Amino acid sequence: MFYIGWERYDINKTSRTNNATIYVISTKAAADYQRVSGIVNLSTDGTNPCAFIRLRVLNKWSGSTSDTNGTAIIHSLSLK
């Protein structure tokens, strides 16, 4: 599995772990040059107003562990 998401934190950086991460891409299939666009709500961390965000990329993720034998290349990424 391959995931790209945004971890969201309130002003006290209280992480709600995976519940506070909003994923933009979640896919099983390998895709070359896949373009994804859309709107993601980063105004709250799920409960409190969001003050900080951090990019999260999971490559070759299989639930609770990561297989380090895979490679992913992100050619371009923007947040507006």
15-58 pLDDT, tens digit per residue, is 666 678 888 876 655 556 677 777 888 888 878 888 888 888 87
Instruction: Give the lowest-confidence range in 40-44, 64-68, 72-76.
Output: 64-68
The answer to whether position 75 is within a domain reads no
Sorted by sequence, the CB contacts under 8 Å of residue 27 that are 6+ apart come out as 1, 2, 34
| Total number of domains in the chain | 1
Q: Where in the sequence is the domain holding 14, given as residue range(s)?
A: 2-30+38-59
Rounded distance, CA 73 to CA 33, Å?
A: 9
Q: What is the pLDDT of residue 15?
A: 63
- pTM, two decimals, is 0.67
Taking alpha carbons only, the member of 29, 34, 25, 32 closest to residue 6 is: 25
The answer to whether position 66 is within a domain reads no
The answer to whether position 67 is within a domain reads no
CB 35 within 8 A of CB 27: no
Compare 39 and 8 and report the one with higher pLDDT: 8
The answer to whether position 23 is within a domain reads yes
Q: What H or E segment, with its residue span, contains residue 21?
A: strand 21-27
Rounded distance, CA 57 to CA 37, Å?
A: 16
